[in-house]
Structure 1
């Protein structure tokens, strides 16, 4: 028998249970004098050769914000003609100025603003009702029934269960990107028994689906017009706004329009350093999407109280191409994994012990999932270095006369360069010399997709509390770097039939252990994310999902920067 589920949290099964997440403590330390004044990064510990590789090739493996820009933004632009020109005299005010660090972050911000899903997320990233006003999860977790609220698309048409079924079926077929399609692999059926009721049938309990349904790739769109139902409408920038920016204005037909404080916003894509400088000059109120690049500069120069740090569900990994010598030798792969001091790496780069190491393949802050820990994690680092030297000697290398030379492919990013300088310093101590091959972002994605690298630095993220995005790139059919462990693939396949979430995660944990021991990739560190938030803004809360919807923000003109 189904039990009513409180719809303000992804894991609540009874009324009166408030959704919770583990509290996160972020430790920051003052930077030592050896930091460069221009970047905020420590002085390099090792010298490495840098090769610059340029390419205009476009990768077929686009990140989901790029897919969204094509699939979701255009209908929102076209729909502007269907609505009144303004909501009142305040609409002419200067919009909230938002800088996004990079095009990907900008697309994600806009996609979140113009779309709405069955569920939504509050300012802290917790699941709350969206287009569905409530839902029920069956006792066995294999059925979720949603009841729609009265809501309209931007053109005025009513949101119906048929629109929901069409949108979700499209996503299951891959129209919303491979990541979303694969996270929906446990959904066996989507049906609409009534015009305002939708049922999802599952092969295994997946409470994280409630969070996934709040993400832009699973936004509900009208079957024919492809209109959206989000809190904002996207249009051409208003006069006086930044060139290339996307202008957003509040959607009066949004189901919760009375709770959206912002009348308008302008989202501009820029580089990290430029975003920091613009914010410090008071030209913008919000910078979102900060990662490796600009981290040191933001810490060093941002006005007091404006820097917000968070630890996303992400991992920086070093991919190893097992099809290339000498990485086909498991002794070499194990030696590389042993020789990196991950905890020191995180603290040296981010200046915080909260930037924890990743000993296996996935980060430590996925709710309900404990990543496996390789046996060597209990060894002192000095002992691991000695074992690494022995393994390399057995493989035919010598730290003096025949050092192992490897090339690592990275993006043209100051942050990635700095991170790999730290890794190179560790590897140099056991007889390994790294050469950096810097590529533009598209070329890097293409190199990883085609296996055109020896080593490659990559970042993997999960939009929900699931380790899957860190694991399925290692499936035999999913990579071009020679990784293939049939036993791990079998565990992955069987996990979709597990009767409970706990049993499913146990199977995935064992698969991750096998891939990590094989050297499918070397986990490095869980990165820190950063944002700059003006004191004039309220409603911003750091969270592991990096969810910062503009609809939750408001401006308090009485607040100012602290000098």
Structure 2
């Protein structure tokens, strides 16, 4: 079955938007078992082909299910596909869809639905931030660049229940990537209608900036095993407000905790405190489309070295977090450990001395030019603000640099970053989409237009990643990825600061919650009592 690529919206619009009656909607007996989840800042969209933010994914994984799906432990497991085969050369995959896989409107989930969704993801008109996920497919890069038609993409429906996927080269990470939201099937519906979903839940109500109400999808193939009937995802931009709602019994889980309340949580809310060390990096990106950043790696290096990461993790953020020196997190992927820059072994005093020397060599400081005030764009999160205030103080103390903080809603920061329209520096966090270093390293590729926030371009780096992913030898692939890491580390397009620990509260009433590196806990696997 062949689909044309539609421009119809997968988000409910005014048809789903109700007047806000109060901050917390009432629970009725008909709602059955209810779970109230804190989702943090507002999602950017619930369209799986266009969503980018982690907050959005928490709702999307309840609504949609790809060929593979995050399991209760976060590891990919069989989802819409019940089984599959891989050719000996690792380039052809045959997926067999479940006979009882259905959409929330009762119609069957077909292989053609995946063909449609993946072509839509690849279509340059969609402008998906995850469009590069199809590059691993045959003709994927050419299709997403508009050089070849959508029909050339290496995905074919052999029949309604059989999907053939052809890769341009073997990819060890491919199966893990398939559990990502962007590769979920999508089914177009009338403008303004509720989105049709194939996951454990369906959207019942959406009040932007407030909450999303989901109810069990009766047509889901495993509906009998879904224990929670109604899930509310509550939007709360302010961490202190979210904590107050939890303490008032209005939330069963929070998205995060303000750092000022971590010690309280450790001692007074031991039964609910649930830290989650995540496969993540929070970092500063320098806008390489602008001067003085574009042509001055020594300036970028000086600013990076002047950041005392140990002070930030231990003093500013109250422990539990890890200082970050590599963009790819350390200790999270078996068989790969990112190389660390040589200056990591130095004391902060020595790093500061190096920073001053590089700053002078870049043409700034005593006897040189005065660096204009630097604007740092960051989200309104209190935790982000604390870190950026600390970084600003370090830059002032070590290098005499003046800064101005510009805070915006998280989704606004993401949009500005993707457009490269921030003035100087952006503070951003990335939680891995699947457990493989390529998930981070791809974000610095020249041909990744949106999520490469610094606009870093290094053809040798790109080539090294291509060479790594073409290798069938895991050890050789890891070595090549390590070489690529050393390339960007020498260029300083980004300054990694922390590997995050998502510190949240989960009520003891919530059963089945497991801290997972990708920080996904689909409601399908949970219960509440």
TM-score under structure 1 normalisation?
Answer: 0.75
8 Å CA contact 1:131, 1:149 repeated in 2: yes
Equivalent position SS for 1:525: strand
Distance 2:401 2:188 in 1: 56
Q: How far apart are residue 491 of structure 1 and its match?
A: 2.2
Q: CA 1:331–1:425 in structure 2 vs 1: closer, same or farther (change >3 Å)?
A: same
Distance 1:453 1:392 in 2: 20
Count of residue correspondences? 472
Q: CA 1:503–1:257 in structure 2 vs 1: closer, same or farther (change >3 Å)?
A: same
Q: How far apart are residue 420 of structure 1 and its match?
A: 1.7
Equivalent position SS for 1:248: strand
Name the counterpart of 2:527. Answer: 554
Q: How far apart are residue 164 of structure 1 and its match?
A: 2.5
387, 390, 400: which is aligned to 1:419? 387
1:236 aligns with 2:205: yes
Name the counterpart of 1:85. Answer: none
Partner deviation per Cα, 1:69-95 (whole Å, 9 max, x = no partner) = 9525579979xxxxxxxxxx9634473
Equivalent position SS for 1:541: coil
Distance 1:77 1:175 in 2: 26
Q: CA 1:481–1:157 in structure 2 vs 1: closer, same or farther (change >3 Å)?
A: closer
Q: How far apart are residue 334 of structure 1 and its match?
A: 2.3
Q: How far apart are residue 110 of structure 1 and its match?
A: 2.4
Q: CA 1:183–1:245 in structure 2 vs 1: closer, same or farther (change >3 Å)?
A: same
8 Å CA contact 1:461, 1:469 repeated in 2: no
521, 529, 533: which is aligned to 2:502? 529
Equivalent position SS for 1:178: coil
Cα RMSD of the aligned pairs, angstroms, is: 3.4
Q: How far apart are residue 406 of structure 1 and its match?
A: 4.2
Name the counterpart of 2:376. Answer: 409
Q: CA 1:433–1:385 in structure 2 vs 1: closer, same or farther (change >3 Å)?
A: same
Deviates more, 1:167-176 or 1:392-401: 392-401
1:296 aligns with 2:260: yes
Name the counterpart of 1:560. Answer: none
8 Å CA contact 1:159, 1:222 repeated in 2: no
Q: How far apart are residue 173 of structure 1 and its match?
A: 2.8
Deviates more, 1:514-523 or 1:176-185: 176-185
Deviates more, 1:338-347 or 1:391-400: 391-400
8 Å CA contact 2:365, 2:400 repeated in 1: no
Structure 1: give runs of 5+ residues left out of the alignment: 1-67, 79-88, 557-563
Q: How far apart are residue 506 of structure 1 and its match?
A: 3.6
Q: CA 1:132–1:401 in structure 2 vs 1: closer, same or farther (change >3 Å)?
A: closer
Name the counterpart of 1:467. Answer: 437
TM-score under structure 2 normalisation?
Answer: 0.79
Deviates more, 1:294-303 or 1:208-217: 294-303
Q: How far apart are residue 358 of structure 1 and its match?
A: 1.9
Name the counterpart of 2:518. Answer: 545
Distance 1:395 1:361 in 2: 24
174, 181, 184: which is aligned to 2:134? 184
Partner deviation per Cα, 1:313-355 (whole Å, 9 max, x = no partner) = 2211112234323773333222223222323322223322x52
Q: How far apart are residue 202 of structure 1 and its match?
A: 1.6
Name the counterpart of 1:209. Answer: 174
Distance 1:122 1:544 in 2: 12
Name the counterpart of 2:90. Answer: 141
Q: How far apart are residue 500 of structure 1 and its match?
A: 4.3
Partner deviation per Cα, 1:101-150 (whole Å, 9 max, x = no partner) = 11126533322212121112221101221111112233332222221112
8 Å CA contact 2:287, 2:420 repeated in 1: no
Q: CA 1:134–1:481 in structure 2 vs 1: closer, same or farther (change >3 Å)?
A: closer
Name the counterpart of 1:254. Answer: 220
1:95 aligns with 2:45: no
Distance 1:152 1:482 in 2: 41
Matches within 5 A, 1:257-336: 257-271=223-237, 272-288=239-255, 290=256, 294-301=258-265, 303-322=269-288, 323-325=290-292, 328-336=295-303
Distance 2:8 2:245 in 1: 25
Distance 2:31 2:188 in 1: 33
